[in-house]
Amino acid sequence: MTFTKICVLGLGYIGLPTASTFATHGLQVVGVDVNPHILETLRNGGLHIHEPGLRTLVEAAVKSGKLTVSEKPEEADAFIIAVPTPFYEDQFGEYNGQMYKLADMRAVTSASEAILPVLRKGNLVVLESTSPPRTTVDLVAPILERSGLKAGVDFHLVYSPERVLPGQILRELIENARVIGGITPASAQAGRDLYAVFVKGEIIQTDATTAEMVKLMENTYRDVNIAIANEFARLAERVGVDVWEAIGLANRHPRVRILSPGPGVGGHCISVDPWFLVEAAPDITPLIYKARNVNDAQPHFVLDLVKRALGSLKGKKIAALGLSYKPDVDDLRESPASEVIHLLQHKGALVKAFEPFKPDADLPGITAVPTLEAALKEADAVLLLVNHTELRALTPEKLAALTPARILIDTVNGWVGKNWEGAGFVVHCLGVRK
Ligand SMILES: NC(=O)c1ccc[n+]([C@@H]2O[C@H](COP(=O)([O-])OP(=O)(O)OC[C@H]3O[C@@H](n4cnc5c(N)ncnc54)[C@H](O)[C@@H]3O)[C@@H](O)[C@H]2O)c1
């Protein structure tokens, strides 16, 4: 199948890089979003998200006339759905007295419905949003079939998971292996033809539900692995071991790869996707459920660490460095850093937070300041919550000049190996018993 014009629904971290990359590879692309602020920003040459290289790519795509934006889809050869798939904040499932989170598929539903009036025979529709198993066949296909066209017969339908690493999206979009799950082999082939426009990594064809499972299994595997790293950190503190050293040594085993502990698991993917598997079958997923709970509880262990370092938290001024869910990105969604700050404040601490990738961060109930200096100025203690390169690079001399605080609490092993004691600091590190 060949493609001249496509619509990409959802212009966020995934949709905008995807739309721009197709445009710079010669396709006519209509980027669709329901958020008027995003459309206006893009129309004015601005950008609403931070991703290295994205500004240049979007500018090139717009300048060439190949990328335009719109509030609704137009007739095209293919449609890509890259809208959010969070969980509900206020609705839960229950199995044997245990509550689990439920996927909020309203954006996928409304994006599919938006395609309905412009869907034509021979089109390809691709769902890229991370989705519970069977979403493509049980949710998207029936909506699109309201057009009178039959999925897999009159139009092609595909699930293709996105596996890019924020911070490396533009390179990984092109170089990563891509799984294409068709509801028929012909659909998978059509999906392959589309992504072959720019993908240089291997393109592997399978069925739609397998492709959905692949994405969920990848992220769940990482969540469970981080949960065990967090439990190892708790154990290390109990038995008097440095968990970072122990994990480093364990990982010298050729078949062991333990991930890093930290203040918890956040973001749009790993802290969300395992719930889609629990929801699909709560009776047979106790490990996945437990891992989610272990990681969600981790901010409480950071609170304990801070209490050990400072004693009573009442009135203590804490500079919290980093608000994003992982290093070197500006994405604050589901960030455990926010949860840690709320817990500290609940115990009476006065927290000033600084996020270098979003100096104007605006989070409910959190005082975020625009500079490192403002966060550190009057602090009693400094709490490192995200291993951002620029925070990790702070030297004892630089920090000593910026803050009267001499107590450092490092939840990510970012300040390892520096001569903090020489500069008068006491360091408390997660997973290390002093
Ligand atoms: N961000 C990542 O690193 C990443 C990686 C892999 C997979 N994913 C998955 O990709 C999907 C999109 O994630 P994201 O990070 O790009 O989300 P995002 O929130 O950055 O962007 C989604 C965009 O979709 C728009 N939108 C919502 N409903 C819409 C609709 N009905 N029609 C058109 N636009 C609509 C929103 O306004 C927003 O701009 C999610 O399912 C996510 O789990 C994300």
Give dist(CA 396, CA 44) in Å, integer: 43
- Does the beta carbon of 402 lie inside 6 Å of ligand 1? no
- Does the beta carbon of 8 lie inside 6 Å of ligand 1? no
**Cα 184 to ligand 1 centroid, rounded to whole Å:** 26
Clarify whether 215 is annotated catalytic.
Answer: yes
- Does the beta carbon of 14 lie inside 6 Å of ligand 1? yes
Across the 434 residues of the chain, what is the mean pLDDT of every consecutive 10-residue run? 97 97 98 98 92 95 96 98 96 96 98 98 98 98 98 98 92 97 98 98 98 98 98 97 98 98 94 97 98 98 97 98 94 94 98 97 96 98 98 97 97 95 96 85
**Helix extents (H) in 240-335:** 243-250, 273-280, 286-310
- Is-contact 381 309, C-beta < 8 A? yes
Task: Output the pLDDT for position 180.
Answer: 98
Task: Output the pLDDT for position 166.
Answer: 87
Task: Output the pLDDT for position 107.
Answer: 98
**Cα 163 to ligand 1 centroid, rounded to whole Å:** 13
Exactly one of 7, 66, 101, 269 is catalytic; name it.
Answer: 269
Residue whose CB lies within 8 A of the most ligand 1 atoms, among 32, 33, 40, 219, for a mutation test: 33
Place of tokens 């630089």: 398
Task: Output the pLDDT for position 167.
Answer: 87
Closest by CA position to 263, among listed 312, 346, 350, 321: 321
312 DSSP 8-state letter? -
Give dist(CA 382, CA 426) in Å, integer: 11
Task: Output the pLDDT for position 334.
Answer: 87
Query: Torsions phi, psi of 134, nearest 5?
Result: 85, 5
Task: Output the pLDDT for position 434.
Answer: 64
Task: Output the pLDDT for position 333.
Answer: 87
Burial of 130 (0-12, 13-18, 19+ CB in 10 A): buried
- Does the beta carbon of 34 lie inside 6 Å of ligand 1? yes
What is the residue-wise DSSP string for 31-88? Answer: EE-S-HHHHHHHHTT--SS--TTHHHHHHHHHHTT-EEEESS--S-SEEEE-----EE
Buried b (16+ CB within 10 A) or exposed e, 55-78: eebbeebbeeebbbbeeebeebbb
Atom 20 of ligand 1: nearest residue by CA position:
12
Give ∠ CA 49-217-189 in degrees, rounded to 5.
80
Task: Output the pLDDT for position 4.
Answer: 98
- Does the beta carbon of 352 lie inside 6 Å of ligand 1? no
Atom 25 of ligand 1: nearest residue by CA position:
10
Residue whose CB lies within 8 A of the most ligand 1 atoms, among 11, 83, 272, for a mutation test: 83
Q: What is the pTM of this model?
A: 0.94
